[in-house]
Structure 1
Amino acid sequence: MTADRTALRRFSFNQATAQHWALPEVVAGCVAAGVPGIGLWREPVAEYGLTRSAKLVRDAGLAVTTLCRGGFFTAEDWREQNLRAIDEAATLGAPVLVLVSGGLPAGSKDIDGARARVADAIAELAPHADAAGVTIAIEPLHPMFSADRCVIATLGQALDIAERFDPSVVGVVVDAYHVWWDDTVYHQIARAGEWIASFQVCDWITPLPEGVLLGRALPGDGCIELRRLREAVDAAGYTGPIEVEVFNAEVWARPGDQVLAAAIDGYLREVA
């Protein structure tokens, strides 16, 4: 059943939420449900084909809200991969490329140096992003991921880098899963203002599963004050899409149309 389009005007369904739904199916499902936006990931886009993917979402009338992901600046080919990711975002019509910085270099314990490396890498990428019309958005991840996935652990750390650039070129991602615990988060959201490039929501469940990366839940199934976060980003001036992005094996095991319906329901009850 199609939900009220006015109520869903900011809603975006990140395709990772229905991990096993093929791209044509998730696009068709979003159209049938009256969803206006979709967040895409590079791997399934590459599998389907970049040009085909761009045509698919364009012909369906969907807005691509973000492309995930760039970053991982400890990889040897980080520069090539990120320049390519920026170009892919531009081809897809995605205004935002989400960056996950990567963890500590192999054998290193120098987290300050790793964070400085992230800032230097973003400075290298910024001119290409500017020319492509794509905002590269720094996503802080929960501190438990600092060693192996993301040394940028707070919204404040992300802003310390982003504020060196025009907000149309470098911004930040406010992802509820990663920032809700931070006692300074509402101050940092207010500080972020026009640097907020994306707002993503899901919920935090306990106990966390063995694979903590898969500990996200659909909105309303956990303990995060999602509407309070949404009101804070609104007050900071953000008027853009709100993506539901969930990594959870039990959610992924459900049929895609059921996942989308549950995501919409949770969004309308807990976020909008």
Structure 2
Amino acid sequence: MSAPGRFSLNQATIKYASLTEAVDATVAAGIPSIGLWREPVAEFGLAASAAYVRDAGLRVSSLCRGGFLTGDHAAALDENRRAIEETAALGAPALVLVVGGLPAGSRDLVGARERVRDALGELTADARAAGIQLAIEPLHPMYVADRAVVSTLGQALDIAEQFDARDVGVVVDTFHVFWDPDVLPQIARAGASGRIASYQVCDWNLPIATDALLSRGYPGDGFIDFESLTRAVAAAGYEGDVECEIFRQDIWDAPYGEVVGTSLARYRELVEPYLS
């Protein structure tokens, strides 16, 4: 069987693994890339994490997460500048941004999106200097109040296109965008300007968990058409890694090797055939 040349295991899929355990599990499965999260990187140490991943021979497909740009402006800028530095130190091409929900007491979605735009305007020089791309991730509308006032790929692009594509791109996460009737032309739009910074795959499962964050599943277990989305991403010119990012309690509780193996098998079956 050929090597999974573009598959990346997002660290969140094996949430309880330490950085070293996640890297070791990725290497053991023959996977060439890993998507990292800031918290386990901080726990192990930034320099030590960068060295461990490098010595393991892995690429870092992205770092998650920055963002939360709709609250305290100065604090958000400081935190995201630190995240940009970490992204560069790890050798990742993109920092994934969960932009933030409505400010406390506000119902002004348009104004909140303008706050995101304004904050990005102050961060692009830092991203350019670090050689990384800020990647806006639209989240499903059920998260609009508390996590992301950017709900569609079109909204993400409306903001991103106000900046150079080298500095600001978008994330195509199947869980968050599959429902959107405009998603395929918006993927083409993102590709036309080179703004697809990351392609993340997982499924939409029912019933929705009590904690809606935990409603993702392995590709093939839910309702998402991975063929159409993957064909669109490929046609848009995206040639980067494809991350499997799952938030689900029973998957987090399973042995790491089992989770990694199943994630890779589903990628080979449902995603990889449509990448070219």
Match of 1:45 among 16, 41, 48: 41
Q: Which one is further off, 50-59 or 70-79?
A: 70-79
- CA deviation vs aligned residue, 1:108-133 (integer Å, no higher than 9, x gap): 11111001110111111001000100
1:176 counterpart residue number: 174
Superposition deviation, residue 164 in structure 1: 1.6
Structure 2: runs of 5+ lacking an equivalent: none
Correspondence for 2:29: 33
Aligned to 1:204: 204
Output the CA distance in 2 between the equivalents of 1:107 and 1:75.
Answer: 11
> How far 1:80 moved relative to its partner?
0.3
d(CA) in 1 for partners of 2:30 and 2:135? 27
1:22, distance to aligned residue in structure 2 (A): 1.4
2:40 counterpart letter in structure 1:
P
Query: Which residue pairs with 2:100 in the alignment?
Result: 102
Question: Residue by residue, what CA displacement relative to the aligned partner does 1:114-154 show, whole Å, maximum 9, x if unpaired?
Answer: 01110111111001000100100000000010000000000
Matched, 1:145 2:148: no
Separation (CA, whole Å) in 2 of partners of 1:220 and 1:271: 10
1:102 Cα deviation after fit: 0.3
- Give the corresponding residue for 1:134: 132
1:39 alignment partner, SS class = strand
**How far apart, CA to CA, are the structure 2 residues paired with 1:19 and 1:137?**
22
1:118 matched residue in structure 2 = 116
Counterpart of 1:213 in structure 2 is: 213
* Aligned equivalents of 2:270, 2:220: Cα separation in 1: 6
Other structure's SS at 1:108 match = coil
Cα distance, 1:227 vs structure 2:
2.1
Quote the offset at 1:4 in angstroms: 2.8
Work out the number of aligned pairs and report it: 268
For residues 27 and 101 of structure 2, what CA distance do their matches in structure 1 show?
37
- Give the fraction of aligned pairs with identical amino acids, expressed as a percent: 57
**1:96: Cα distance to partner?**
0.3
Instruction: Give 2:30's aligned amino acid.
Output: G
CA distance in structure 2 between the aligned counterparts of 1:108 and 1:23, rounded to whole angstroms: 38
Q: Would the aligned equivalents of 1:199 and 1:242 in 2 still touch at CA under 8 Å?
A: yes
Query: Within 2, Cα distance between the matches of 1:198 and 1:166?
Result: 17
Amino acid at match of 1:111: L
- The runs of at least 4 aligned residues of structure 1 exceeding 2 Å deviation read none
**Matches of 1:268 and 1:133, distance apart in 2:** 31
- Partner amino acid, structure 1, of 2:227: R
2: CA distance between counterparts of 1:4 and 1:245? 22
The whole-number CA distance in structure 2 between the counterparts of 1:176 and 1:64 is: 20
Secondary structure at the residue paired with 1:4?
coil
Q: Which residue matches 1:159? A: 157
Residue 21 of structure 1 and its aligned partner are, at CA, apart by 1.3
Q: Which of 13, 16, 30 pairs up with 2:12?
A: 16
1:89 offset after TM fit, Å?
A: 0.2
One-letter code aligned to 1:29:
A
Q: CA deviation at 1:28?
A: 1.0
In structure 1, list runs of 5 or more residues that go unmatched.
Answer: none
Q: Which residue of 1 aligns with 2:243?
A: 243
The Cα RMSD (Å) is 0.8
Deviations 1:144-190 (A, max 9, x none): 10000000000000001111222111100000000000000001001
